[in-house]
Structure 1
Amino acid sequence: MLSLNEKEVDNIAAQLLKGMICFYQIDKKKIHQMPDDEDYFNYDLTEAEEDVLDEIDENPDNFAEFTKMEPAQEHQMMQDFIDRKVKERNLAEDLVNALSKPKASTGFKFLIDGSKYKAEWQEYRKGKYADWVKEQVDSFNYTED
């Protein structure tokens, strides 16, 4: 059964927020991260990263994979933040409007970064990503049984 301490959860969540993908090596209790290949098409893996991928191929049951949220989940997280935290009606309307356009997260980030909610958003998002990591642990444990 896989269990992570809060420090490991926070570390994985932080890496996912940076666009990385994480693999937790169960026997060594070690976190490996590398760029998510969906985001880095032309990225050349280092020798160490290639070795980790080879180990995963050889013994996939010894690794738990952690991925970032799907775009729909990210979108819902932004919408929930607006609904729960943003008190200024004009800003809330601008944020909702940004979410309805192409490149929604870019527009949302631009507006949030220019507001008093920037730090609160970063904390909220980090917390939601920690919850997301824990959900993935639960899912991993469920499929193990």
Structure 2
Amino acid sequence: MFSLTEKEVGLISAQLLKGNVVFYQIDKKKIHHMPDDEDYFNYDLTEEEEDILDEIEENPDNFAEFTKMEPAQEHQMMQDFIDRKVKEKVLAEDLVNALSKPKAATGFKFLIDDSKYKGEWYEYKNSKYLDWVKEQVDSFNYSED
């Protein structure tokens, strides 16, 4: 049974929010992170990162991989925040409108960062990402059975 401490969940969540992919080395209880190659395809890996990827390839069962939410999940998280937290009708409409356009996350962030909800949004997003990491742990354990 694979489990993480609350501190480890927090560290993994923080890396995912930065756009990194995270690998947890089970035998050494060590967290490794690197840019998600889908987002940084021109990024050159360091020698240490290449060594970690080689180790993962050689012994994949010793690593749990954590990834950020899919765009649809992030979109739903933003929509849920609007529905549950934003009381000003005009701002709520502007945020919903931003979500319907290309670069939805950028438009949403621009509007939220300029509102009184900025702090509340970051707390909400962090909370949802902590839950997301725990869901991935559960999924990892389920797939092991």
Once the 2 structures are TM-superposed, how far is the Cα of residue 79 of structure 1 from its aligned partner?
A: 0.1
- Partner of 1:40: helix, strand, or coil? coil
Distance between the aligned counterparts of 1:11 and 1:125, measured in 2? 15
Once the 2 structures are TM-superposed, how far is the Cα of residue 78 of structure 1 from its aligned partner?
A: 0.1
AA partner of residue 102 (structure 2)? P
Once the 2 structures are TM-superposed, how far is the Cα of residue 128 of structure 1 from its aligned partner?
A: 0.2
Unaligned runs of 5+ in 2: none
Distance between the aligned counterparts of 2:34 and 2:2, measured in 1? 21
Q: Which residue matches 1:38?
A: 38
What do residues 12-71 of structure 1 show as CA deviations (whole Å, max 9, x unaligned)? 011000000000000000000000000001000000000000100110000000000000
Would you say how many aligned residue pairs link Structure 1 and Structure 2?
145
Q: Which residue matches 2:100?
A: 100
Asked if 1:79 is matched to 2:79, the reply is: yes
Distance between the aligned counterparts of 1:114 and 1:2, measured in 2? 41
Residue identity over aligned pairs, in percent, reads 84
Unaligned runs of 5+ in 1: none
AA partner of residue 36 (structure 1)? D
Distance between the aligned counterparts of 2:119 and 2:2, measured in 1? 32
Give the TM-score normalised by structure 2.
0.99
Once the 2 structures are TM-superposed, how far is the Cα of residue 9 of structure 1 from its aligned partner?
A: 0.4
AA partner of residue 12 (structure 1)? I
Q: Please report the RMSD computed on the Cα atoms of aligned residues, expressed in angstroms.
A: 0.4
Moved over 4 A (4+): none
